[in-house]
Amino acid sequence: MPTFTWSQHTADSTKLVLIDYNQAAYKFCGASIPSYLGRQPEDLFIDGSEVAHALHLCLQEQTVVEIKDDNGQHRFTAIAHGSEEALLYYSSPVNICKIQDQLELRLRQQSNVVLISQRALAPISVEQICSEITMIVGQTLELPYCYLLELIAEGEYLQMKGGYGFPPQIINKIKVYNDPKTLMGYSLTTNGLAIIADIEHQQFPQLKLDQFLHNLDIASGIAFPINLGDQRYGLLGVYGQHKRHFDDHDINFVETVAFVIASAIERSQQRDRLHLLSRAINASNHGVVISNAEPEKNSIIFANDSFVQMSGYGWEEIKGKPTDFLAFHDQDEALYQSLKKSLAEGKETHLTMRNYRQDGTIFWNELSLSPIHNDAGLLTHFITVQTDITDRKCIEENLQLTQFCLDQATDGVFWLHSSGYFLYVNDAGCRILGYEREELLAKKAEDIGSYWLESGSQMLGQDSQVQVVLFETELRHQDGTLVYVEISSSYLHFNDQYYTCAFVRDISSRKEAELALQESEEKFRGIFEQAAVGIILVTMEGIVQGVNPGACKILEYSREEFLDLHFEEIMQVVKYDELLKDLFATGKDRLTQEQMYTRQMGAKVWLQVTMSVVRDQENSPKNIVVIFTDISDRKRTEDAYHETQERFNSILNSLDDIV
């Protein structure tokens, strides 16, 4: 016969608690009976209050009390066992023990916790999880309403994410003000459990139901906050329209479900973050590779689309390969070993390496390797961010080549800021002005001569469209002397700043040569104009280019008349070409002749004519210089002399005949 032993509670003699039971009671009630030790009859039996009254009566009167059902059938017998203990015998098989119903409820709760946990692990949306779980909780506890509310608007309101027993059209739409004076708000504020067994006799009469629960005539319920770590997420609540006692199992069930929901939401948010991160990584222009931290191999387990495109390999070809598989044997050995060492030691590194695509083409890869450790501090993976910098590398190499060319240029190169300070100067610029580079970079343009700034500004001011100006000026050398320079200056606007790029050429030697040439030309011009002899400058084609006053006087032509005549007409030669042949035949580029010419007015004149060839820098004939003098007086003297000599010889011959 099932027998239960009860004893007065040590702290409250008005309460009786279960302290023992026999094997028959264990078989009758099941394996859960040990959990009822220390608990009252109301927790074990459906009519627990009647049983408790019978036990108290038998102890007070030290007698035997029988309990019968409505049909008068004998059910329980209570017998006093001393002044503080009583035995309760179960004697009627018709009586339905409350523990059997509770056992079924506990089994249903446990199985549904497993079901809820399984659904929480499924890759479904938070909304679907909330909808399914609220339905399972409501059905498990046999209550008509269950909801899951999410805090929104910085905690000012709650929005229904899932609900059981509520119209579908209000899900994700209804918003409830988070009032701390309501049971719902109290639970969130205190981060604790809120239980309503009887709304009319609740523990906190100053608190009220939320309006939408009040409209449903709610009489009892449980609300439990849902937390995501330290962050408050919302509230899980289950409610009924009748008074109900919620035992520890009911409370534990709701708490467990709340924790499962929190885990499911965190997992869903983590999935969303991972999905977003995956999309962000795939959208990145940088190649991203994740590999295992395995000794020697470091197999790739993930590569984004940019790396696939960069390498030219498909994902199936990349998967499982080592992190450094794009580096071939002709790689810089020291650089390659540095990467291998970082992988072996699990250290961060940044390298720029030459890699090879699937088709064998070379590209420059800027690689950043970072180790990843788990919560225990153990190295588990490597993440490698890789960037194809081939174009940038080419630009850098071109810039280096340009920089080298600028540094080695024979002309000075100066970069100036709009403030007048030098930003760059090459070796030639330092050499032209006699400064060290550091000295020049500490100076302003006006320190070595404001002339170039003034000249350039004036030329720019004359034409607003001019971007490049060329001018000559003087700059001050470090020793104080002035240096003649030719400046080609470019003005540009970049990033809201104005800059000047000036190419400076030292033209001191040229200036000296020009001055010497000018002086020589002036001397030649003086001789040319003042000479008593005639001088004519003729092209190789016989065209007169210049004639001096002496020539005009001797031949009686004006300068204008000379310039209209061919050399053959002036000098009365048969063929100019034949004359040139005679000239070149001398092998000395010089020919002197004496010849009688007819002046413009018809008078005869004897001239001594010297023709000389003028050659250019390539030693090609360029001009003929003709110098002639009037030798008519000399010719007349010679003729008179010859005539006198002949007369004298004739007299001598006559004397000989006389003798």
Q: Which of 155-164, 197-206, 329-338 has the highest mean pLDDT?
A: 155-164
Task: Give residue 184's pLDDT.
Answer: 77
Mean pLDDT calculated for residue range 636-652: 84
pLDDT digits 0-9 by tens, 144-153: 999 999 999 8
In the chain, % of residues over pLDDT 70: 90
The burial class, CB within 10 Å (0-12 / 13-18 / 19+), for 141 is: buried
pLDDT value, residue 451: 57
pLDDT of 68 over the 60 cut: yes
Q: What are phi and psi of 492, to 5 degrees?
A: -140, 155
* Burial of residue 44 (number of CB atoms within 10 Å: 0-12, 13-18, 19+): buried
Domains of the chain (ranges, CATH numbers): 3-96 (3.30.450.20), 103-274 (3.30.450.40), 285-393 (3.30.450.20), 416-509 (3.30.450.20), 531-637 (3.30.450.20)
**3-state SS assignment for residue 603:** coil
| SS3 per residue for 198-223 | CHHHCCCCCCECCHHHHCCCCCEEEE
**Angle ∠(520,526,530) on CA atoms, nearest 5:** 150
Instruction: Provide the mean pLDDT of the chain.
Output: 82
Share of the chain above pLDDT 90, in %: 12
The pLDDT tens digits for 525-539 are 777 888 888 889 999
DSSP line for 280-302: HHHH-SSEEEEEE--TTT-BEEE
Which has more pLDDT, 71 or 235? 235
pLDDT at 465: 46
CA proximity to 223, closest of 156, 134, 154: 134
- pLDDT value at residue 314: 92
Tell me the β-bridge partners of 160: 149
pLDDT for 420 equals: 81
Beta bridge partners of 235: 149, 225
Q: Is residue 460 helix, strand or coil?
A: helix
In the chain, what's the furthest Cα-to-Cα distance?
Answer: 222
Q: What is the pLDDT of residues 420-473, one digit of tens each?
A: 888 889 989 899 899 998 988 888 888 887 555 554 444 444 444 446 788 888
Q: How confident is the model at residue 198 (pLDDT cuts 50, 70, 90)?
A: low
> For the residues 238-242, what does the mean pLDDT come to?
90
> Residue 373: beta bridge partners?
379
Say how many C-beta atoms besides its own lie within 10 A of residue 203's C-beta: 11
Both structure tokens of 149: 């509310």
203: pLDDT strictly greater than 60? no
Those residues with Cβ within 8 angstroms of residue 263's Cβ, 6 or more apart along the chain or in another chain: 120
Q: What is the DSSP annotation of 491-520?
A: EEEETTEEEEEEEEEE-HHHHHHHHHHHHH
Could you tell me the pLDDT band of residue 218, with boundaries at 50, 70 and 90? confident
Model confidence at 345: pLDDT above 80: yes
- Model confidence at 123: pLDDT above 60: yes
Three-state SS string across 226-257, please? Answer: EEECCEEEEEEEEEECCCCCCCHHHHHHHHHH
Write out pLDDT tens, residues 607-624: 998 989 988 888 888 899
Of the candidates 13, 11, 10, 5, the residue with the CA atom closest to the CA atom of residue 56: 13
Mind listing the pLDDT tens digit for each residue in 369-420? Answer: 999 998 888 999 999 999 999 898 888 888 888 888 888 888 888 888 888 8
**For residue 182, pLDDT beyond 90:** no
From CA 205, how far away is CA 392, in angstroms rounded?
Answer: 74
Report whether pLDDT(195) > 50: yes
Mean pLDDT of 316-333: 78
Q: What is the mean pLDDT of residues 252-268?
A: 90
Q: Tell me how far apart the alpha carbons of residues 623 and 562 are, in angstroms, rounded to a whole number.
A: 17
Q: Which of 26-30, 275-279, 387-391 has the lowest mean pLDDT?
A: 26-30
105 alpha carbon, distance to own chain's centre? 60
Task: Render pLDDT for 81-108 as a digit per residue (tens, 0 to 9).
Answer: 777 888 887 765 434 445 456 656 777 8
Q: Is the pTM of this model over 0.75?
A: no
**For residue 55, what are the CA distances in angstroms to 43, 83, 409, 466, 506?**
15, 11, 116, 116, 124
Of residues 306 and 69, the one with the higher pLDDT is 306
Residue 4: strand, helix, or coil: strand
CA distance 46 to 42: 7
Q: Residue 328 gets which letter from DSSP? A: -
492-543 per-position pLDDT tens digit = 778 888 888 888 988 888 888 888 888 877 887 777 888 888 889 999 888 8
pLDDT at residue 35 greater than cutoff 90: no
pLDDT number for residue 170: 85
Span 557-580, average pLDDT: 81
